[in-house]
Chains A and B, each alone.
Chain A
Amino acid sequence: MTDSIQKISIIISQGSLEGIYPGLIMANGARAEGIDANLFFTFFGLDAINKVRHEHIKLSSVGNPGLHFPTWLGGFPGVSKIMTQYMESKMEKLDIPPIPEFIEMISDTGAGLYACKASVDLFGMSKDDFINQLDGIITVGDFYQLASGGQMLFT
């Protein structure tokens, strides 16, 4: 078992429902297996830890071929909301928590949550914009140091 994964560092760079969940599920799953995990939220991924916005994360209904309906339909007002609600109800049945609860839980598992300093500066945000569980606003270099000795995953 010497080649088993001991540590994972996951970067979340997107702000859509389908852009955020995979990284969270991988992080939570890592901790459940006893693997150390750190999360780095960058660019629109910052919405996942933004204390106001993370309660309103939406599925992309435009430009998302995976939904298997015409792009023009996805652009209608309310379609994204309806698709998001549909997805959330399906997830709840599978015991997948809503994003705010999931992130709090992942923090409680001992995983580290970090915001990308360059993105925070770019969007004119500050520490007050983020949830209390945030462990720090750090540079890319700092995150690479945290990631040292483990595997990295970009989502």
Chain B
Amino acid sequence: MATATYDGVEVEVNDEGFFTDPSAWREEMAPIIAKEMGIDELTPDHWRVIRFVRDRYLETGGGPTVRVLGKTSGVTVKELYRLFPKGPAKEAAKIAGIPKPVGCI
């Protein structure tokens, strides 16, 4: 198990960099994780998606798929890929400190 340090706090992450303990996440860590992934600035739209996936995870125990995000987050699929070019479900989950969403769609 690897660790990463965000905002002065050491957290456990898996091989792909996803938090193993979502409760260790703080909002202040999000911009630092995003920067690591090549997203230099988190706009209000980014935050909307990040909060949405995190809330969804806390409610259901899993991160939403891109299809669900596109239908329910208020951000379209096209826009999601503009915000998170390397895969919205995956990138938003990583920034939001939750596990990688499981599923093929």
- Residues of A at the B interface (CB closer than 8 Å) are 25, 28-29, 31-34, 94-97, 105, 108-110
> Are B65 and A95 in contact (CB-based, < 8 A)?
yes
| Range of interface residues on B (Cβ < 8 Å) | 10 to 19
- Residues of B at the A interface (CB closer than 8 Å) are 65-68, 70, 76-78, 81, 85-91, 103-105
CA distance A105 to B78 in the complex (A): 8
Q: Which B residues touch A109, using CB under 8 A?
A: 66, 77, 81
Q: Which of B77, B87, B90, B103 contacts A105 (CB 8 A)?
A: B77
CA distance A29 to B87 in the complex (A): 9
> Are B76 and A97 in contact (CB-based, < 8 A)?
no
Q: Which of A33, A34, A95 contacts B67 (CB 8 A)?
A: A95
Residue on A nearest B91 in the bound complex, by CB: A34
Smallest CB separation, A41 vs chain B (Å): 20
> Are A28 and B78 in contact (CB-based, < 8 A)?
no
> Are B81 and A110 in contact (CB-based, < 8 A)?
yes
> Are B87 and A28 in contact (CB-based, < 8 A)?
no
CA distance A97 to B65 in the complex (A): 12
Please report whether the interface of chain B is mostly helix, strand, loop or mixed according to DSSP.
helix
Residue on B nearest A32 in the bound complex, by CB: B87
Smallest CB separation, A105 vs chain B (Å): 5
Q: Which B residues touch A108, using CB under 8 A?
A: 70, 76-78, 81
Q: Which A residues touch B105, using CB under 8 A?
A: 25, 28-29, 94-97
CA distance A61 to B76 in the complex (A): 36
> Are B103 and A33 in contact (CB-based, < 8 A)?
no
Q: Which B residues touch A33, using CB under 8 A?
A: 86-87, 90
Question: Could you show 23 A-B contacts with beta carbons less than 8 Å apart?
Answer: A25-B105, A28-B66, A31-B81, A31-B87, A32-B87, A32-B88, A32-B90, A33-B90, A34-B87, A34-B90, A34-B91, A94-B105, A95-B65, A97-B105, A105-B66, A105-B70, A105-B77, A108-B70, A108-B77, A108-B81, A109-B66, A110-B78, A110-B81
- If A32-B66, A95-B65 touch, whether A25 touches B104 (CB-CB below 8 Å) is yes
> Are B87 and A95 in contact (CB-based, < 8 A)?
no
Q: Which of A29, A31, A97, A110 contacts B104 (CB 8 A)?
A: A29
CA distance A95 to B78 in the complex (A): 19
Smallest CB separation, A140 vs chain B (Å): 28
